[in-house]
Amino acid sequence: MDRPVILECRKVWKIYGAQADSFLTRNSRPKKGELSAAGLIGAVRDANVQIHKGEIFVIMGLSGSGKSTLVRCLSRLIEPTAGEIFFEGQNLLSMPEKDLIRIRRTKMGMVFQQFALLPHLTVLENAAFPLDVQGVPRAERMERARKVVELVGLKGREGNYPRELSGGQQQRVGIARSLAVEPDLWFLDEPFSALDPLIRREMQDEFIRLQNMLHKTIVFITHDFDEAIRLADRIAVMKDGAIEQVATPEELVLRPATDYVAEFTRHVSRSKVIRAVSVMEPLAGDSFAGEVPHDARIEQIADQVEASALPHRVMQDGQAIGQITRQAVIDVLVGRR
């Protein structure tokens, strides 16, 4: 990945329990069993992550896997027990409170699972809240808040209070609030998990639309693998506080690093993940039914490729780099590979 790293965490640990600090100085890489034997809980164990500018980085795991704790360590809502976190090259953990507040005020935004809206403020005032605590004058912050509220599609509801809105609308307010300061780094902690499946889908589309406009660097937490592969550039799979694998959705499916990841990806609809380039064969012969882009998902090209007995050419930068056959597409669709 050639884009610059914006957020990096090295060997981050978060251990709960009595004397967690001193335990880690005595044994810097304890095993899970050693922790539980000492009556400690390793919520995050030895996490190493690099997040690049402009990517959507999804942290994915079941409940209790430590993903929420990790994201709170990354934003320093929770103090990690050990490790280093760098944001744009600055050490976030050794930073004095004042600088941290400045960074949060200007460079970070966060969306929460239960929306976390302030009940006594209107939609507009909620969106303007981060500007309010910075001391932005009222007229200016209302103007900027009005823009983000409009951006998330809540124009006309500015004067409503959170309790008067549906769950999906409340989360739109949460998104508007997190975007009001135009952050570089955007944390989303299971933002759609509390919503109904249909609304969730709609909000995911909304999220993709926003990201296509804004190009933020995003850390997105979810327990829903379908959501993860739909949105992610890269995914980190967590289990019991440790990161099992960091990879693109396709790599996770094709080359799972551990049995746990394999188990997880087994029932994914692979045609949504696998790209043409991953199942193409070397060019053979010279009669082709057509062309497909190399990074097209199988799902997108299946109809086209299956319609003909002849293979299709796989194109990258105007060059044919291989061919894809009907058989290969069917193999993916029925899960043979």
Partner 1 sequence: MRGRWPLAFWLGLFGLTWLLSAFSFQLSKTLDARWLLKYPKQWELPLEGAIKSFLDWLVEDANFGLFTFRDLTRAIAAVVEMPYQILRDLLIEGFSSGIGDAAVQIAPSLSWIAVITCATAIGHYARDWKLGALVGGCFLYLAVFGQWESAMITLSSVLVAVPIGAVGGLLLGIAAYRTPWFDRMMRPFLDLMQTVPVFAYLVPILILFGFGPVAALVATVIYAMPPMVRITVLALRGVPEEVIEAGRMAGCTRRQLMWKVLVPSATPSLMVGVNQVIMLTLNMVIIASMIGAGGLGFDVLAALRRLDIGGGIEAGLAIVVMAIALDRASQAFAERSQRARLSGNLVRRHPWSTTVFVVIAATLALGLVLPGVQSYPDRLTLTTGPFWGEAMKWINVNFFDTFEAIKVVILNWLLLPVKKFFGGIPWAWGILVMGLIAGRIGGWKLGLLAALLMGFIAATGLWPKAMVTIYLCGVSVLIATLIGIPLGIWAAERPGAGRVILGLMDTLQTLPSFVYLIPVVMLFRVGDFSAMVAVVLYALAPAVRYAAHGLRSVPEALIEAGTMSGCTRSQLLWRIKLPMAAPHLLLGLNQTIMLALSMLVITALVGTRDLGQEVYIALAKAQAGPGVVAGLSVAFIAIVADRIFNALAEGQKRRLGL
Report the site for partner 1 in 185-214 (rule: CB under 8 A): 187
Q: Closer to partner 1 at the Cβ: 133 or 214?
A: 133
**d(Cα 146, Cα 141) in Å, to the nearest integer?**
8
Shortest Å, Cβ 108 to partner 1: 6
Report the site for partner 1 in 155-174 (rule: CB under 8 A): 159, 161, 163, 174
Amino acid at 162: P
Phi and psi at 206, nearest 5°, equal -60, -40
Which of 77, 254, 262, 283 lies at the binding interface for partner 1 (CB under 8 A)?
77
| 118 touching partner 1, by CB under 8 A | yes
Which of 90, 91, 114, 308 lies at the binding interface for partner 1 (CB under 8 A)?
114
Q: Count Cα neighbours of 288 within 13 Å in the Cβ-side half-sphere.
A: 17
| 69 touching partner 1, by CB under 8 A | no
| 177 touching partner 1, by CB under 8 A | yes
Task: Give how many residues touch partner 1 by CB under 8 A.
Answer: 34
Which of 109, 249, 311, 322 lies at the binding interface for partner 1 (CB under 8 A)?
109
- The residues, ordered by sequence, that sit 6+ positions from 259 with a Cβ below 8 Å of its Cβ are none
Structure tokens at 185: 């780094």
Q: Is 3 exposed, middle or buried (0-12, 13-18, 19+ CB in 10 A)?
A: exposed
Q: Closer to partner 1 at the Cβ: 122 or 169?
A: 122
- The residues, ordered by sequence, that sit 6+ positions from 152 with a Cβ below 8 Å of its Cβ are 172, 173, 175, 176, 179, 206, 210
| Residue ranges in contact with partner 1 by CB under 8 A | 72, 75, 77, 101-102, 104-106, 108-110, 112-122, 129-130, 132-134, 159, 161, 163, 174, 177-178, 187
